[in-house]
Structure 1
């Protein structure tokens, strides 16, 4: 009988905590996080709401997890978005109405 091969451990996802996220991010992204963090804290002081802080931490938690799994993926995502924007948008994009019609078709066929 063959010896089972152990599965690799999934990468640890950092907590949605500023200190943990900073530690998990590469230096270039840490600078971007810090700049956004300062802006969101200033807005939270004015609004007396923590919602934007939670949203920012969630966004960067996903970004950090993506970078841990595939280093450089965030930069590649930004580059792809810039290419799409420079080309005037996605040429293969489907309107929301067409997408809803397609979903409805599939549900009825189902």
Structure 2
């Protein structure tokens, strides 16, 4: 059996706090975060709910960690999403039946 390669230590996860997230984000993404933050605050004032703010902080916490692991990954994700939309959906998608068959095949190979 092959010896597993150890994974690099995970990056320090920033707190789900606007100030901590801004500090953890690359400069190029701070403007986008700021704009989304202002919109979320405005909607929270109208709805009297913090749910959207929590969702936004969660999204940007994941984005910050993603960027800490691999710089530029957020932009690549957006570009891939735009390509999928332009193509009219996932052209490489696999049906659930095909995926189950592939899993079953791999399980039987072990």
Q: Into which bin does the TM-score normalised by the smaller protein fall?
A: 0.7 to 0.9
Instruction: Please give the per-residue CA displacement for 1:14-58, whole angstroms capped at 9, x wherever unaligned.
Output: 010000000000111110000000000000001110000000000
Q: Determine the structure 2 residue equivalent to 1:15.
A: 15
Task: Indicate whether 1:68 and 2:68 are aligned.
Answer: yes
* TM-score, with length taken from structure 1: 0.78
- Tell me the equivalent position of 2:57: 57
Alignment deviations for residues 49-102 of structure 1 (CA, whole Å, 9 cap, x no partner): 0000000000000000000000000001111111121122211224xxx52796
> What is the distance in 2 between the residues matched to 1:7 and 1:92?
29
Matched, 1:84 2:71: no
Question: What's the TM-score, normalizing by structure 2?
Answer: 0.78
Q: Distance in 2 between matches of 1:17 and 1:35?
A: 15
Gaps of 5+ in 1: 1-5
Question: Which segments of structure 1 move beyond 3 Å, counting only runs of 4 or more?
Answer: 6-9, 100-103
Pair 1:102–1:88, CA change in 2 (3 A): closer
